[in-house]
Structure 1
Amino acid sequence: MNTARIKLTGKNPKQLDDICSEIKDMAQKLGVGVSGPIPLPTKKLRIPVMKTPCGDGMHRGGGGGNWETWEMRVHKRVLDVGANDRVLRQITRIRIPTEVNIEIELTD
């Protein structure tokens, strides 16, 4: 039987979990097997930035306190759903926020 691997990525883990539970409930109502959601490791993107634009403080007293670190976390979830026409049609009708990216890959 064909399966559809659904990959969800986003910055807000609660939104991802809500969409995953909605997909899982829909597939179970239609009688299709579902495995997941499987949480994948969170990617942490860090950018160190100087607080002052002129560069002052680098030569005074070590200059250790003039850096700020910005961080963005990207969360991922994976669902495997039986590839049924009705299920895939219903999944495409789900309202997905713009902050969440979804990829659907069909496999044998």
Structure 2
Amino acid sequence: MSRGLKPDNVIETTAIPTNHCDVGQRRKRISVAGQKIRIRLKAYDHEAIDASARKIVETVTRTGARVVGPVPLPTEKNVYAVIRSPHKYKDSREHFEMRTHKRLIDILDPTPKTVDALMRIDLPASVDVNIQ
């Protein structure tokens, strides 16, 4: 940030004069255009989650909505250390890990046809789907 200037993250906006009748219509258009469906996928198998994401993207693009993604989110890795011996040799341990793969898909400007198609889509049971 230099002296006498505003910070870089401040954005100035100016109002555009419009007719009073037009303002209500514009608000309606913005609210309809601003709708978004966010789908989060979780799975232990990366191939299953990629196939599910591909199927969702194909279905949504067929219905005419815009799709952003799939965005790969960081993989969650849980490591468990287990003692190998049943009673002795505590220093000898075996490590097991579970990896949770995650994807994010945003659907912009969804139509009723898009929502119906998403409800009918058949995904594997190993993929957890969270729709917001």
Asked if these proteins are the same fold (TM beyond 0.5), I'd say yes
More relative contact order, 1 or 2 (CA 8 Å, 6+ apart): 1
Deviation digits for residues 50-79 of structure 1 (CA, Å, limit 9, x no counterpart):
01121x124xxxx3xx20001000000000
Q: For the residues of structure 1 that align with 2:115 and 2:96, how far apart are their CA atoms?
A: 38
Tell me which protein shows more helix as a share of its residues: 2
Contact map agreement 2:68 2:107 (CA 8 A) in 1: yes
* Matched letter for residue 77 of structure 1: R
Counterpart of 1:38, as a letter, is V
Alignment pair present for 1:52 and 2:79: no
Q: How many residues align?
A: 98
2:104 aligns to what?
78
Larger Rg: 2
RMSD: 1.1
2:72 to 17, 21, 39: 39
Runs of 4+ that moved beyond 3 A: none
In the alignment, the residues of structure 2 paired with residue 4 and residue 14 of structure 1 have an alpha-carbon distance, to the nearest angstrom, of 23
Structure 2: unaligned runs, 5 residues or longer: 1-32
Deviation, structure 1 residue 84: 2.1
Flag structure 1 segments of 5+ consecutive residues without an equivalent.
none
Pick the aligned partner of 1:68 from 80, 86, 94.
94
Query: Does 2:117 correspond to 1:93?
Result: no
CA contact (8 A) 2:36 2:106 kept: yes
Matched, 1:21 2:21: no
Length-normalised TM-score, structure 1: 0.85
Paired with 1:104 and 1:92, the residues of 2 have a C-alpha distance of 11
Q: Give TM-score, length-normalised by structure 2.
A: 0.70
Q: Structure 2 CA distance, aligned partners of 1:11 and 1:44? A: 10
Q: 2:130 aligns with which of 94, 103, 108?
A: 103
